[in-house]
Amino acid sequence: MSGRRVAVLLIAAIAVVIGAIWLASQRRLERARLPGDLVLPGLEHHVSEVTQLSLAKGNGTRTTLKKDASGWNVAERSWPADAGKARKLLFDLGALNIVEEKTRVAANYPQLGVEDVSSPAATGTLIELETPGHTWKLIVGKSSSGKSGYVRVANSPQSFLAAPLLTVDADPKSWLDHALIDLSAQRVRQIEERPASGPAFTATRNKKEESAFAVGPLPKGRELTGPAAAEPIAAALSSLTLDDLAKASGAAAAGVSQATFRTFDGLEVQVSGHKDGERSLILISARSTDTATAGEAQKLSARLAGWEFSIPDYKYAVIFKPLEELLKKPPEPTKKPAKPVKPSPGKSTGP
């Protein structure tokens, strides 16, 4: 055997030994991930520095939460995010700890829901966290119990059962700040209803201390179900929340109803609504007739103008309650006694 061949074999042997040593060291490092260790070490010290939080599913559903001077925003909707929900997820990720190691075999990932989300069939959710100096990526899979679930650091073969259980949803509407407007019933002086169909009417009271609203005009011969018949309408904008939103198209919709709420201190809120299939959609505008509420009206307009909001159906039904639902049912018409049947001429009535 030539000296050159010996040298080549020696170099190859050295390379194999070095590779084996490196592989062994990696395995020792992986075995060092013991129960109680953090799944994303280092994140716990940088939670407050996260500027972007993204969630993505294999089917294309995605949410991007961005943090700026005003707080967290949902990029896909250009609307404020639920800051408390975002903070909770970040702190849960920072505290996420290993319960036990699970599979390293890619073919078994789907059983835990931790396969790569590049496939539309993937059931897990990819979470990406960005700070100015670092990025973390984690695939959140199925839950194991009410306290733990399966996860895998992206681009790492090892999966884990980890706690606490992470509840994630990549649908943008689930991350919205759902608060829309909060106009207490005590402030409302008058409600003017102009429904798309049916008679228009007005509900008015003269003093805040009065609980009942005078409603009119009423159909001839009809009366209200009671003095408090219109009170639910006055409370319709109290703690009103949204389900989703989109930029208003500007095109006139068919079958639009309008409800105008006027307060004792000069605030006027107009709500225009229509149905689109199963969705209840509204536009909101605000103005003021008194300097005391000018700032409030301006703030509401800046936040709500130009948006179309999807709201819960039950709230929509109260905002645009038809007059007929405020009235007692009309009395049933008196039935006239049936006339006796006269025998036909020429026919015998006896045996």
Stronger pLDDT, 313 or 330, i.e. the higher one = 313
CB atoms within 10 A of CB 286: 22
- What lies within 8 Å, CB to CB, of 250 at 6+ separation is none
Model confidence band, residue 8 (pLDDT cutoffs 50, 70, 90): low
Q: What is the pLDDT of residue 345?
A: 63
CA distances, 34 to each of 27, 29, 156, 163 (Å): 13, 10, 16, 13
Q: What is the mean pLDDT of residues 205-231?
A: 94
> How far is 180 from 129, CA to CA, in rounded Å?
28
Query: Are the CB atoms for 156 and 103 separated by under 8 Å?
Result: no
pTM over 0.85: no
- SS3 labels along 21-58: HHHHHHHHHHHCCCCCCECCCCHHHCHHHCCEEEEEEC
> How far is 283 from 257, CA to CA, in rounded Å?
11
Strand partners, 5: none
Model confidence band, residue 333 (pLDDT cutoffs 50, 70, 90): confident
Instruction: Examine the pLDDT at 335 and tell me if it is beyond 80.
Output: no
> How far is 164 from 88, CA to CA, in rounded Å?
11
Tens of pLDDT, residues 103-147: 999 999 999 999 999 999 999 999 999 999 999 999 999 999 889
Instruction: Examine the pLDDT at 187 and tell me if it is beyond 90.
Output: yes
Q: Which of 87-96, 118-127, 339-348 has the lowest mean pLDDT?
A: 339-348
Model confidence band, residue 33 (pLDDT cutoffs 50, 70, 90): confident
> How far is 263 from 208, CA to CA, in rounded Å?
10
Q: Average model confidence (pLDDT) for the chain? A: 90
